[in-house]
Amino acid sequence: MPQLSADTLLSLDRAHVWHPYGPMPGTVTPYVVESASGVRLRLAEPVAGGRRELVDGMSSWWAAIHGYRHPVLDEAVREQLGRMSHVMFGGLTHEPAVRLASRLVEITPEPLQHVFLADSGSVAVEVAMKMCLQYWQSTGRPEKNRLLTWRGGYHGDTFHPMSVCDPDGGMHHLWGGVLPGQLFAPQPPAGFGASLDVAYASAFEELMARHAHELAAVIVEPVVQGAGGMQFHSPAYLRMLRELCDKHGVLLVFDEIATGFGRSGALFAAEHAGVSPDVMCLGKAITGGYLTLAAALCTSEIADGISRGEMPVLAHGPTFMGNPLACAVANASIDLLLGQDWQVEVKRIETGLVDGLTPARDIPGVRDVRVQGAIGVVQLDHPVDVIAATEAAAREGVWLRPFRDLIYTMPPYVTEDEDVARIAAAVNAAAVAG
Ligand code: PLP
């Protein structure tokens, strides 16, 4: 393959390539990554402070939990490549997908029995919503077609997931009249250790009771709200949701695309509460960050309900559904995770982040510092100067990607103590600069 010089690459990038949430042409020059290994990204050119290697504080947006170029995961992809990289899933099946689906059923809460393999998190959320709406349609209640969520959430960028993202995030304003009108309760009170606020619970119930006749499901991110603002709430609110959904005949969807596979300190955040949703979405870390894959799991009641309908099938089938390469690496990643004492690693990172980020409380302009599992957040009282904060982190040898008023990290679980300390120092430096 011909190598492009960094200058040529960047000028082509600027002219032709959209980046996430970016303008066209691009206005901020991205760092060019040449390769990645362990927890380090190797850049094509030196950046701030002359660094060419940055410790990854982001796990490539929650996904690369085992770091990069892990020999076991590399081998799983190579091995699968020697058999087939892809075959269609309509009318055909294969061992990597069947093994993965069975494994997901085994490790998620017991009522979840059926797996739809999707090709991205947003699509898994679309499928979860379709499952819920179709369940009610098939069981003679088509009017139950709205969703209820709480504020501060994020569920993806395609249209139905966007409709349940926090309405103040900008997208609702842009798409008023286009997005389906969903219902929003206030954000649950902050704090993993907080006890249930009875007034919040009764207001939530009042809203749900008033709309139960038209509600298909409640959808939330359990315990950790990610891209909507990096807030943590008590598992007591998940128990509240389970109870109210059962009482008022509404389905419950947990979007564990960010929290799944250990990130919050439990394998799935639902376990903190000891409850099971009717539908669970998984993605991101499912393949250890190697390939794009996600899943929507549901109970037998939902699957049976759909099967009783006039159209007894779930009408969804992406071209790359059940991609064998992605399934093979997902199987290897889950084996790798569960084959080690992953709780100890997540706890170790949590302790390192608490130690390293606590001093940020004294930085002027810092509003809050919080840590849950292998997630550390410094919230400012003003919007982050993203360029200044990113460069300050890079000078410390760390890759961070702040947004809104948040400088945050969720390192790969293999990050050693010294690098966790370095990441925390970089978050603090970014908070000073940003
Ligand atoms: N749901 C949650 C909770 C997420 O954090 C994300 C992505 O950040 C998504 C859904 C969308 O996933 P994807 O970006 O793979 O479409």
- Answer yes or no: is the C-beta of 152 below 6 A from any ligand 1 atom: no
pTM of the model: 0.98
- In the three-class reduction of DSSP (H, G, I as helix; E, B as strand; rest coil), residue 291 is classed as coil
Is 51 marked as binding a ligand? no
For the 74-338 domain, the top CATH level (class) is alpha beta
Mean pLDDT of 164-174: 80
Is 49 marked as binding a ligand? no
User: From atom 14 of ligand 1, which residue's Cα is the shortest distance away?
Assistant: 121
Q: What is the pLDDT of residue 171?
A: 66
- Determine the residue type at 372: Q
Is 122 marked as binding a ligand? yes
The alpha helices in 139-235, defined as continuous H runs, are 159-163, 171-174, 198-211
User: From atom 9 of ligand 1, which residue's Cα is the shortest distance away?
Assistant: 156
DSSP bridge partners of 115: 297
| H or E segment to which residue 71 belongs | helix 71-81
- Answer yes or no: is the C-beta of 255 below 6 A from any ligand 1 atom: yes
Answer whether residue 180 shows pLDDT above 80.
yes
Return residue ranges of the chain for CATH 3.90.1150.10: 31-62+341-433
Distance of CA 220 to the CA centre of its chain: 12
- Split at pLDDT 50, 70, 90, the class of 168 is confident
- Determine the residue type at 73: L
Is 404 marked as binding a ligand? no
Asked whether the bond before 411 is cis by omega within 30 degrees of 0, the reply is no
User: From atom 7 of ligand 1, which residue's Cα is the shortest distance away?
Assistant: 156
Say if CB 399 and CB 393 are below 8 A apart: yes
Residues catalogued as catalytic: 21, 154, 255, 284
CA atoms within 13 A on the CB side of 237: 31
Return residue ranges of the chain for CATH 3.40.640.10: 74-338
31-62+341-433 has which CATH code?
A: 3.90.1150.10
Is 401 marked as binding a ligand? yes
> Which two three-digit tokens encode residue 253?
């969807």
pLDDT tens digits along 393-424: 999 999 999 999 999 999 999 999 999 999 99
- Split at pLDDT 50, 70, 90, the class of 173 is confident
- Mutate which of 61, 284, 287, 408 to test ligand 1's pocket (most atoms within 8 Å of Cβ)? 284
- Answer yes or no: is the C-beta of 296 below 6 A from any ligand 1 atom: no
Say if CB 152 and CB 229 are below 8 A apart: yes
DSSP secondary structure code for residue 341 in this structure: T
Which of these, 156, 176, 338, lies nearest to 258 by C-alpha position? 156
Instruction: Tell me the CA–centroid distance for residue 328 and ligand 1, in Å.
Output: 21
Longest Cα–Cα distance of the chain, Å, equals 65
Answer whether residue 306 shows pLDDT above 60.
yes
Task: Produce one character per residue of 284-303: b if its CB has 16 or more CB atoms within 10 Å, e if not.
Answer: bbbbbbbbbbbbbbbbeebe
Phi/psi of residue 281, nearest 5 degrees:
-105, 135
How far apart are the C-alpha atoms of 390 and 397, rounded to whole Å? 10
Sign of the alpha-carbon dihedral angle for 191, 418, 410, 341: negative
Answer whether residue 170 shows pLDDT above 70.
no
pLDDT tens digits along 182-192: 999 999 999 99
- Answer yes or no: is the C-beta of 289 below 6 A from any ligand 1 atom: no
Instruction: Tell me the CA–centroid distance for residue 49 and ligand 1, in Å.
Output: 33
- What is the Cα Rg of the chain in Å? 22
- In the three-class reduction of DSSP (H, G, I as helix; E, B as strand; rest coil), residue 256 is classed as coil
Instruction: Tell me the CA–centroid distance for residue 121 and ligand 1, in Å.
Output: 5
Say if CB 397 and CB 426 are below 8 A apart: yes
Instruction: Tell me the CA–centroid distance for residue 194 and ligand 1, in Å.
Output: 26
Instruction: Tell me the CA–centroid distance for residue 156 and ligand 1, in Å.
Output: 5
pLDDT tens digits along 207-251: 999 999 999 999 999 999 999 999 999 999 999 999 999 999 999
Calculate the alpha carbon distances from 281 to 258, 278, 335, 414, 432 in Å: 9, 10, 20, 25, 36
User: From atom 12 of ligand 1, which residue's Cα is the shortest distance away?
Assistant: 121
How far apart are the C-alpha atoms of 286 and 351, rounded to whole Å? 24
Mean pLDDT of 3-7: 89
